[in-house]
Structure 1
Amino acid sequence: MAETASRRFVLLRHTGHGPLHFDLMIEDGKTLATWQFEFSPVLLAPGTAVACRRLAAHRTAYLDYTGPVSRNRGQVHRTDTGICNLTFFTSHWDLEFRGTILRGPFTLKGVGGADWLLARSA
């Protein structure tokens, strides 16, 4: 049976530690489930998907944080924040983002190990 929840999310632009990338973080209990993208998922066209990488859980402090990352791991800048309505299935997550710029229905699906796909619904 699927579980449905409403959670906070944040989209961070991460610079100064490897190539520029974006981190999508969604509340998951006392931590943030986190995925890394080569470009902002805001730019994803309806009906298309992009590869992303699941990272280790992050601290919930990142929901409200902009600034330097500890141990000289660059800087993060919040590009969007809001609420995400989720439905958890065994094989994927259905998401409805309600941020300032990241809005609408998406699906996150694990494709093996840390590799995932984020698809924007048409």
Structure 2
Amino acid sequence: MNQDVERLSQNRTARIPVERMQGPIMLVSGGDDQLWPSSRFAEIVMEWLTCHHHPYKNIHLHYKDAGHFLYFPYTLSYMPPNVMLSPGGGMTITFGGSDKANTRTALDAWPKMLDFLKQNLDG
């Protein structure tokens, strides 16, 4: 078992028990996420599911140049993919990626997400 997975198994309060989920899981992560290590967390989730023999088709879409925020249709679609946010008070939050990389990621991931839902929600 991977050291990160092993460490998480010792601290169950720090994680969601994904292995108990009754259905397939799809994760989308950006390799340039500057808010937190989403790609590594997604890898750990996938390893955890494998270690626990989760019986569903689980998918991790990893986009190495994408940041934290990706906007998809129907979710704040009037906003561009955020790379930075300056809420005021001299504070700036960096989300990573670039407008171009985040947009490319959203355009690629959206139909895959719809397909995943169609495959797994249709009786």
* TM-score after normalising by structure 1: 0.26
Greater RCO structure (CA 8 Å; 6+ sep): 1
* TM-score after normalising by structure 2: 0.26
Q: Could you say which structure has the higher strand fraction?
A: 1
Q: Could you say which structure has the higher helix fraction?
A: 2
Q: Which has the larger radius of gyration?
A: 2
